[in-house]
Copies of this chain bind each other. A is one copy, B any other.
Amino acid sequence: MPELRKDLVRDNWVVIVADNALKPDQFPINRNQVSAHFDGSDCPFCEGREACTTQEIAAVRLQGSLPDSPGWLVRTVPNKYAAFNLEGELHRSQTGLFECFNGLGHHEVVIETPWHYQEIHQRSPEHIEHLYRLLRQRYRDLKQDPRIKYIQIYKNRGLFAGASQQHSHSQILAYPMVPGQNAAIGRYYEKHQRCLICDTIAAEIARKIRVVTETDYFLLLCPYASRFSYEAWIIPKTHTEHYDGISDQEIADLAVLSKAYIGAMMNALDHPAYNISINTAPVNNGEEKGYHWFMEITPRLMVMNAVEIGTGFYMNPVAPERAAQILSQALQDSCEVE
């Protein structure tokens, strides 16, 4: 059973997966920089290899096709190497300085397309809408379980973003505790009785210098204190605490926007590895008025080094104002080509 161990020095929790420990030669990076799964020859996520994954939780399927068989567009399965399991209750143990919780939670893989060499942003807006709707459904289902306190939807694309599979996929991790990293959003609300993200939207629209683009429902900007070069946030303009509060109209808008933006970003930055994290409100944790979900897209052009590890300070060599200019231009250019 995995454990959540208290890191007293950093005042944080670390997930230790004590079973299935990786041996020194099983890590994705080492002297060899490329993982075994970076070609399609034996990819378990491809259509036709459904037997290689764990059992399907949900899918967007052609009418008449059966679970765990071909005929799907998006498909979600338990992560074979899950960090957490939903077994029993959360319990804490402490021996002297050493405090831990059992790794109660849930971890699944959302396979975004049936085809190995087509990434999700290369698919149609309709296909991308299917993905966002399935994610909304899974978020709704998972938050019914009162043991779950936070649900993270995320994507690792490319080796330098921590992906161990090349095939286009996202993941959903349901945690038994609320991450402290974003707690400042809640403290801002307590202090000002206002939403930090709504205030940010207003301030950024007024200044324009970090706005990449704006649609009916979303603002796309490079945040003022970007931790990563060319980092961008896609924020719903209507105050919404949880990702599952997204409407069908917003999903249609987001599908078109994210397809265009990721394509333009990939061209402008020469197809980097990148991560997406959907930051959202805690669940089953009382009222969460201060939170406001948003999608954080972080190209991985630098490797985190000892500065970040030792101090927690991030170093970013590209001013977000400059990044916004470059990304905005790339987005305009790509729209003109179409």
* CB-nearest residue of chain B to A271: B31
Whether A24 and B268, one on each chain, are in contact in the complex, defined by CB atoms closer than 8 angstroms, is yes
Cβ contacts under 8 Å, A62 to chain B? none
Whether A24 and B326, one on each chain, are in contact in the complex, defined by CB atoms closer than 8 angstroms, is yes
- Which of A113-121, A225-233, A253-261 lines the interface with chain B? A225-233
Cβ contacts under 8 Å, A268 to chain B? 24
- A6: CB under 8 A from chain B? yes
CA distance A21 to B303 in the complex (A): 17
CA distance A301 to B154 in the complex (A): 21
- A146: CB under 8 A from chain B? no
- A281: CB under 8 A from chain B? no
CB distance from A39 to the nearest CB of B (A): 16
Within 8 A of B (CB), among A302-338: 302-307, 309-322, 326
Cβ contacts under 8 Å, A97 to chain B? 196, 199-200, 203, 224
- A141: CB under 8 A from chain B? no
- Which of A40-48, A64-72, A132-140, A174-182 lines the interface with chain B? A174-182
Whether B20 and A317, one on each chain, are in contact in the complex, defined by CB atoms closer than 8 angstroms, is yes
- Chain A, interface size: which category? 35 or more
Whether B173 and A307, one on each chain, are in contact in the complex, defined by CB atoms closer than 8 angstroms, is yes
CA distance A303 to B305 in the complex (A): 11
CB distance from A233 to the nearest CB of B (A): 9
- A270: CB under 8 A from chain B? yes
- Which of A53-61, A85-93, A159-167, A239-247 lines the interface with chain B? A159-167
CA distance A182 to B14 in the complex (A): 15
Cβ contacts under 8 Å, A171 to chain B? 306
Assuming the contacts A16-B316, A17-B316, A97-B203, asked whether A30 and B310 have C-beta atoms less than 8 A apart, the reply is no
Whether B275 and A27, one on each chain, are in contact in the complex, defined by CB atoms closer than 8 angstroms, is no
- A122: CB under 8 A from chain B? no
